[in-house]
Amino acid sequence: MTFKLLYRYISAGILKIFLGLIVLFSVIIVSSQFMHLPSVVYFMDFFKFLKLIFFIDFSFFKYQLLFAFILAATLFGYSLKEKREIYAIYASGISTKTLLKPVFFISIFLSIIALIISLFISPYANRERANFITVSVKEYFMESIQPKNFSKIGKDIVIYAKSKKDNLIENLFIHMHKKDWTITAEKAKFIGSNLILENGFIQIPQKNNFDILFFKKYIFSIDINYIKKYSLEDYENKKLIEIIRKKGKKSLKAQAILTDRVSFFIPFLFIGVIGFLIGISNISSKEYVLSFSLLISIVYLLINFLIVKLISGGSLPFYILPVVELLYFLTIYILIKKKLVSF
């Protein structure tokens, strides 16, 4: 019974701080990312705005989990020492090994969550954020088209419409400055980020004259300067595997990205225990304790970044990454337990 109460107390204490830090990190990350977004996102409706916030937050959520967990375990361990509860626990005959059991169970749970987020949620959020922003910017410009007015779409396109009702436009005129194309259409319908034109002409300039093409239906894609694209790092796992199997130029990079995703659960098996041990260690200052935990996480990210780059370039085999990560955290765990924890 005593153990159950203690385990609940430790688990609840760590998770309470952990959730608080997740909320704090989410607010900071979302706020900082909004500074780099086009101004049109502020004119979205409320639900679209919430959707964008969700995508931004989950794009970086794996790193929030990493820092929040090690800091939460460290802060709770330090609070046990500061309130002298740790001395009462050890005086009752409970060992460090027993004390670490609830921390280890949380570590297992969060390592599974981290693996799911790393493999599926973060790449998906990055892809959807890129697509969502691009489409939203295009939609904003299209919605700004007013009947019997010339509307400038980006820097290259000028549109004039005689009449407009919802997504339906009649007697449309489009001029593209760079290509010097002129397009006219009797009717047009706005679907997604495209204009579906019906019954019109395209005037294409030549050296001494111009060609005129008639069309019954033409899909006109709005070319806006702000195009948010996602990179190979955000591809689906299936696509990365296909690239690896083809053994082309991008195969090594795809292999490095996939290995990085799969091995992201490894730190979570250790950082909770490491953070907790640092918290109850002989280090007296709270600032030093937190700095030490942050340093461990930052060094891990630097090592991870360097090895992923080397794997991408073909200098190292892919399996080196999980091996180095395991050795790094095992070494830190052993050193902290031997040098800093005197209980």
pLDDT, tens digit (0-9, with 9 covering 90-100), for 233-279: 889 999 999 999 988 889 999 999 999 999 999 999 999 999 999 99
- Residue 146 in any domain: the answer is no
What pLDDT digit, counting tens, does each position of 142-182 carry? 666 778 888 777 677 888 888 888 778 889 888 888 888 89
Query: Does 194 lie in the same domain as 281?
Result: no
Query: Does 246 lie in the same domain as 117?
Result: yes
Which is more confidently placed, 250 or 40?
250
Q: Quick one: pLDDT at residue 138?
A: 64
- Alpha-carbon span 144 to 39, nearest angstrom: 14
CA atoms within 13 A on the CB side of 248: 7
- Determine the number of helices (DSSP H) and then strands (DSSP E) in the chain: 12, 6
- Residue 104 in any domain: the answer is yes
Confidence band, pLDDT 50/70/90 cuts, at residue 1 = very low
Residues 6+ apart with CB under 8 A from 267: 66, 114, 297, 300, 325, 329
Stretch 282-300: mean pLDDT, rounded?
92
pTM of the predicted model as reported, rounded to 2 decimal places: 0.79
Closest to 2 (Cα-Cα) out of 79, 106, 71, 94: 94
- Residue 147 in any domain: the answer is no
What pLDDT digit, counting tens, does each position of 43-75 carry? 677 787 888 888 889 999 999 999 999 999 999
Query: Does 99 lie in the same domain as 27?
Result: yes
- Residue 258 in any domain: the answer is yes
- Residue 67 in any domain: the answer is yes
CA–CA–CA angle 13, 119, 135 (5° rounding): 105
Q: Quick one: pLDDT at residue 307?
A: 97
Query: Does 118 lie in the same domain as 22?
Result: yes
What pLDDT digit, counting tens, does each position of 325-341 carry? 999 999 999 999 887 65
- Alpha-carbon span 120 to 5, nearest angstrom: 36
Domain that holds residue 37: 2-139+232-339
Provide the angle, in degrees to the nearest 10, between the axes of the packed helices 46-59 and 61-82. Answer: 70
Number of domains within the chain: 2
Provide the 10 A C-beta neighbour count for residue 123.
23
Residue at which a domain ends, from 221, 248, 274: 221
Q: Quick one: pLDDT at residue 39?
A: 62
Q: Quick one: pLDDT at residue 257?
A: 96
Query: Does 250 lie in the same domain as 130?
Result: yes
Residue 72 three-state SS: helix
Q: Quick one: pLDDT at residue 341?
A: 57
Stretch 25-54: mean pLDDT, rounded?
80
Query: Does 52 lie in the same domain as 134?
Result: yes
Query: Does 123 lie in the same domain as 26?
Result: yes
Residue at which a domain ends, from 221, 240, 255: 221
CA atoms within 13 A on the CB side of 255: 22
Tokens of 136: 């939203």
Helix, strand, coil % over all residues of the chain, rounded to 5: 65, 15, 20
Query: Does 323 lie in the same domain as 259?
Result: yes
Query: Does 93 lie in the same domain as 31?
Result: yes
Q: Quick one: pLDDT at residue 287?
A: 92
- Residue 144 in any domain: the answer is no
What pLDDT digit, counting tens, does each position of 191-222 carry? 766 788 999 999 888 877 888 889 999 988 76
Q: Quick one: pLDDT at residue 266?
A: 97
Q: Phi/psi class of residue 166: alpha, beta or left (left: φ > 0; alpha: ψ in -120 to 50)?
A: left
- Residue 168 in any domain: the answer is yes
Query: Does 210 lie in the same domain as 248?
Result: no
Query: Does 112 lie in the same domain as 175?
Result: no
Task: Kindly state the greatest CA–CA separation across the chain.
Answer: 97
Query: Does 134 lie in the same domain as 33?
Result: yes
- Residue 227 in any domain: the answer is no
Residue 157 three-state SS: strand
